[in-house]
């Protein structure tokens, strides 16, 4: 549904990025048909139930190719204990 040169972001659970089965199929399609350039790793409980880790993936649509479009992926990990907001004035 994405235009040929469209950009998108999607929220996915960890198993889509790191496990086999259906997650592996999704990864292969993303690498062949898009330029997956950024993965934002979120703490648990943000989009899913507590304990479920989520990621936001950012990609640009491309035509299918024999060689993967994705060459480099930037990872931003917000699962660390670093606070990005002021606790006194959230």
pLDDT tens readout for residues 40-80: 988 877 777 777 788 899 999 888 777 878 888 888 888 87
pLDDT reading at 9 higher than 90:
yes
Residue in 37, 31, 4 with CA at minimum distance from that of residue 16: 31
Residue in 31, 27, 53, 32 with CA at minimum distance from that of residue 42: 53
User: What's the whole-model pTM score?
Assistant: 0.75
Q: What is the pLDDT of residue 83?
A: 62
Q: What is the pLDDT of residue 50?
A: 76
Residue in 13, 4, 14, 11 with CA at minimum distance from that of residue 35: 4
Q: Which residue has the tokens 């703490």?
A: 43
- Position with higher pLDDT, 63 vs 86: 63
- CB-based contacts of 49: which residues, under 8 Å, 6+ apart? none
- In what order do the strands lie in the sheet containing 74-77? 7-13, 54-61, 34-42, 74-77
């Amino acid at each position: 549904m994405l235009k040929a040169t469209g950009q998108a972001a999607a929220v996915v659970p960890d198993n889509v990025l790191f496990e086999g089965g259906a997650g592996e199929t999704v990864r292969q399609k993303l690498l062949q048909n898009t330029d997956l350039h950024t993965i934002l790793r979120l703490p648990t409980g943000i989009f899913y139930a507590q304990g479920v880790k989520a990621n936001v993936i950012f990609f640009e649509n491309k035509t299918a190719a024999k060689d993967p479009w994705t060459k480099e992926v930037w990872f931003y990990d917000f699962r660390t204990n670093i606070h990005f907001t002021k606790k006194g004035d959230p």
